[in-house]
């Protein structure tokens, strides 16, 4: 009596293994970029909460951010790339940026963080 083969064949196993390796590589390469972004937004939100209600200047904001960047080791964006300006509605912090990282061979991943705009309202 003939029995049916059970399980996956070698080609199917290699295909599944290849897909898993590609997604694992993406996760390992992109995780630090997102952790830096989450740290950046937390730092800026903390500075906004501390400075709310007081008379602040862009220079004071930049100094506070500089100290926190060193402490928290934010490396995906430099402080000089963050635009801090005084507007009518308050102090505007523009921390939008993009990060490019090599994934494998000649393939790069580009991640845009376009929602990193913050305002410290005037009191």
Q: Which of 117, 116, 106, 123 is nearest to 34 (CA)?
A: 116
Backbone phi and psi for residue 61, each to the nearest 5 degrees, phi listed first: -65, -45
In whole angstroms, what is the distance from residue 108 CA to residue 89 CA? 39
For 77, other C-beta atoms within 10 Å of its C-beta total 19
Query: Would you state the pLDDT for residue 75?
Result: 83
In whole angstroms, what is the distance from residue 102 CA to residue 105 CA? 8
* Predicted confidence (pLDDT) per residue in 44-67, tens digit: 999 989 887 667 889 999 999 999
Percent share of the chain, pLDDT over 70: 97
pLDDT for residue 6 is more than 80:
no
Cα–Cα distance list, 53 to 57, 63, 86 (Å): 12, 18, 15
SS3 121: strand
Query: Would you state the pLDDT for residue 76?
Result: 83
């Amino acid at each position: 009596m003939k029995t049916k083969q059970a399980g996956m064949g070698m080609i199917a196993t290699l295909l599944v293994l290849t897909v898993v390796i590609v997604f694992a590589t993406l996760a390992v390469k992109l995780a630090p970029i997102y952790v830096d972004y989450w740290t950046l937004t937390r730092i800026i939100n903390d500075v906004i909460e501390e400075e709310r209600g007081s008379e602040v200047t862009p220079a004071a904001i930049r100094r506070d951010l500089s100290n926190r960047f060193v402490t928290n080791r934010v490396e995906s964006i430099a402080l000089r790339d963050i635009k801090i300006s005084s507007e009518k509605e308050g102090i505007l912090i523009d921390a939008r940026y993009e990060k490019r990282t090599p994934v494998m061979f000649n393939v790069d991943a580009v991640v845009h963080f376009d929602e990193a705009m913050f305002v410290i309202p005037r009191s």
